[in-house]
Amino acid sequence: MGFWDSFAAGLSEDPPRRVIVSTRTLREAIENTLIYGFSRAALEVVLPDELDLAWAGTGTPVEADTKRTLIDGHLVGFEIPQLVALARRVLAECDVADHGLAVLIAEYEKGSSGVDSPAKNLIFAANGPKPEMVLRDAVSNDILITKNAEFCLVYDRPITEAGLSFQELIQWWREREAMADTDDRDVGLSLHKRLRESLGENEPERMVLDVYSRRYGEHGFGIPALIPQVYLHYDPYTKYQRKGSSPLERQRMDFLLLFSARKRVVIEVDGRQHYASEDGRANTQLYAEMVTEDRRLRLSGYEVYRFGGKEFESSDAPSMLAAFFDELSSRMK
pLDDT in tens, the chain (333 residues): 454 454 444 444 454 455 678 888 999 999 999 999 999 999 999 999 989 899 999 899 999 999 999 999 999 988 887 888 888 889 888 888 888 888 888 887 765 566 766 677 789 999 998 888 877 776 676 788 889 999 999 998 888 777 899 999 999 999 999 999 999 999 999 999 999 999 999 999 999 999 999 999 998 898 999 999 998 766 555 555 555 555 555 578 999 999 887 789 999 998 766 555 666 676 677 778 778 888 888 888 889 999 988 899 999 999 999 999 999 988 876
DSSP state letter for 179 = -
pLDDT at 235: 58
Query: Residue 139: its pLDDT value, please?
Result: 67
- The region that residue 148 occupies, defined by phi over 0 for left and psi between -120 and 50 for alpha, beta otherwise, is left
For 168, the enclosing helix (H) or strand (E) is helix 166-176
Please give the backbone phi and psi of residue 163, each rounded to the nearest 5 degrees, phi first: 85, -150
Q: Which of 78, 85, 96 is nearest to 34 (CA)?
A: 96
The Cα diameter of the chain in Å comes to 72
- Whether the model clears a pTM of 0.75, i.e. scores above it, the answer is no
pLDDT of residue 246: 56
β-pairing verdict for 122-124 and 303-308: unpaired
**70 CB burial (10 A radius; 0-12, 13-18, 19+):** buried
Using CA of residue 285, residue 290, residue 296, residue 299, what is the dihedral sign?
A: negative
Helix (H) / strand (E) element for 190: namely helix 184-197
